[in-house]
Chains A and B, each alone.
Chain A
């Protein structure tokens, strides 16, 4: 009985939140890694791209809701998502056309492009704040729980309840679908292979007849879709505010770097390394241990390695350690 309770507590407070968060980070990190691998620069504006995508989706959600549209037990935001992606795609393509293309044609170094992305970050951040304001926004509706703690304890007779929020299930489900689709695209379609070729050896790809403009456009479209989805899923799970999303840049980048910048599989692996580390290092393990250990062995105190304030610090610490000892990441990404 006790072991089961310990397991349920472990699942409820560690595994489920970490998996959910990891899936969101993975989608964000995939965007960062695609830009690094194909467009060859670190895009510091990615957090704000996620914010912009989420903000536009929220506006569309509100519009749908005001017109009486709903999605049953699922959040209406999911219906608004395609619109949000479309608007964000237009935004990033416009940004590429007006800003990045100039520097790309001049073969600007990755550092210059990084600085340029800083400028884009400012503008996008301001734009997002402008269209939706700076306060916290909660835009999830529909059923809150697939199964809540009380139902679980009634069903199983355990004292510890496992609550499965709808948003967690949607997040993981959406992430799985999107990642599968992305990998299918990259590995099985002509365009996808041409993008991998372009990332691998640009000169040879051009020689083979790959159109650079097409590759760039498709990359940005993918990035817009990934960033918007990641942002919407995160916002449904927690809440949305431009500042929080800007801060998400840091764990998202950490995930991509830890996994290996430029390597899509690495982005996913890195995301879960980061998310699980953040949660395990800041979780108060006392609860789980209370079930798992006999009373005499129980330690005093909360058994919390670091306070929850240090969540981001954990991802940075891992990021810095990886950069120092294995700069190309766990799964060997590119080094430009």
Chain B
């Protein structure tokens, strides 16, 4: 069958599966899984861009994803004058100073001749910079964190609207991506994977511990989710109550379903726009050049293509996309919990499984992979225990049976792993072949 038919079949099957969940279980559940899937699909697009177009193995996905969430907090949360009084400007100043010192030290190392003087100057700069930084930073952080620690204790935000947050998320992640790429992109794939994994974890650790930034493990709640309405608000609107009655649904459920649909539309449109842009890029002369570089880097360089900067571009763009997904994620859940990103299995490796399953290099493949895996993931949680209870029914009741039923949720990870291994063995190009 032709590629087009095959793709239609895959996506048709997916749609049917999600609809089946809605009908057989609940629309709330189906929409919840779908929304998670759409967000993850955006992440997968970003990862696929870095891997499929440029062969860059970024295992620090969770870090960029988390930065997107951080951006939302920093942008949409109301401005906190008390924190500003206490020490926000000093904090910003200290950070700028740190960045400047590191830049200066880097320049000194590059520019000076190798030898003792260079070492002394560089480390001297770093030492003095670190000491000054601590002097300014320490007290300012303490002061800010002391402001209303139960409900705030952080620097607050900029009181800007949500679309700005999306842009800022992309920008923040892009900036981080630029820093990572500038320093690490010379590394070979294995090493790049390890380095990015490390950097991603450092970012998340920072977010988990720097309470002045985002309250650390105390989390930030009540995140603005424009343009999607809140369930509670809906339940009180006259037009909505009439609509619910007309459809024969109770208001509460109807409001959750409605909100779910709104989210799906918002996230879905962003996904569609991104997909369209990416597909255009792939077909453009720029895309052809990227494929040439990917397929034979040495030849491309010999022909004068600046491989290094192209890779940089791709890495930055891919990171930006991941950041936007991170913003959407935080808005969808109304919660920014740095600690939740600390599970690389869920946020990084799972995404990679999706990209490989779907087909590295193919945007549609990445989306399909994401939707399939998330469906499996969500269903394992909701339906898994029941299935396992059915399978273990003939066994006598007891700790073993209980253990087996309890571990149903745990099974979803190895199942994804098995799928990944099977795909790598029998169909390495994945579901949907890239160009």
Contact = CB atoms under 8 A, between A and B. Distances in A.
B151 interface: no
A105 B345 CA distance: 29
A41 B190 CA distance: 8
A94 interface: no
A326 B418 CA distance: 36
B222 to A, nearest CB: 25
Nearest to A111: B189
Interface stretch (A64-72, A116-124, A186-194): A116-124
B407 interface: yes
A310 B189 contact: no
Interface string A230-255: 00000000000001001000100110
Contact of B353 (A110, A119, A126, A254): A119
Nearest to B415: A126
B366 interface: no
Interface residues of B, number: 42
Nearest to A125: B413
Interface of B: 57, 183-184, 187-191, 193-195, 197-199, 201-202, 205-206, 208-209, 343-345, 349, 352-353, 356, 403, 407, 410-411, 413-418, 420-421, 424-425, 428
Given A111-B57, A125-B413, A316-B201, A323 B421 contact: no
A115 interface: yes
B187 to A, nearest CB: 6
A126 B417 contact: yes
A122 B184 CA distance: 27
A231 to B, nearest CB: 18
A118 B414 contact: no
A171 interface: no
Instruction: Say whether chain A's binding surface is mostly helix, strand, loop, or mixed.
Output: helix
Contacts of A41: 190
A317 B202 contact: yes
Contacts of A317: 198, 202
A131 to B, nearest CB: 9
Contact of A313 (B193, B205, B407): B205
Given A130-B410, A313-B206, A327-B187, A42 B193 contact: yes
A335 B188 contact: yes
A112 B188 contact: no
Contacts of A253: 194
Given A103-B425, A316-B198, 11 more contacts: A110-B189, A111-B190, A115-B424, A116-B424, A119-B353, A122-B413, A123-B418, A125-B417, A312-B201, A320-B202, A327-B188
B403 A133 contact: yes
B173 to A, nearest CB: 18
Interface of A: 41-42, 99, 102-103, 109-112, 114-116, 118-123, 125-127, 129-130, 133-134, 243, 246, 250, 253-254, 257, 307, 309-310, 312-313, 315-317, 319-320, 323-324, 327, 335-336
A85 B206 CA distance: 37
A121 B189 contact: no
A126 B190 CA distance: 24
Q: Which of B208, B349, B353, B356: most chain A CB closer than 10 A?
A: B349
A320 B186 CA distance: 12
Given A114-B193, A324-B184, A335-B188, A123 B209 contact: no
A102 B426 CA distance: 10
A319 B208 contact: no
A33 B206 CA distance: 29
Contacts of B403: 133
23 contacts: A42-B190, A110-B189, A111-B190, A114-B57, A114-B189, A115-B420, A115-B424, A116-B424, A118-B420, A120-B417, A122-B420, A123-B417, A126-B415, A129-B407, A129-B413, A130-B414, A250-B197, A250-B198, A317-B198, A319-B194, A324-B183, A324-B195, A336-B188
- Pairs A-B, 10 closest by C-beta atoms: A122-B417, A126-B414, A316-B198, A119-B420, A123-B417, A119-B421, A313-B205, A111-B189, A123-B414, A126-B413
Contact of B352 (A109, A115, A313): A115
Nearest to B206: A313
A284 B57 CA distance: 37
Nearest to B343: A243
Q: Which of A246, A250, A316, A319: most chain B CB closer than 10 A?
A: A316
Contact of B417 (A119, A130, A316, A323): A119
Nearest to B411: A126
B346 to A, nearest CB: 11
B59 to A, nearest CB: 9
Contacts of B193: 42, 111, 114
Contacts of B420: 115, 118-119, 122
A324 B189 CA distance: 14
Contacts of A121: 349, 417
A126 B206 CA distance: 29
A207 B189 CA distance: 29
A249 to B, nearest CB: 9
Nearest to A109: B189
A328 to B, nearest CB: 10
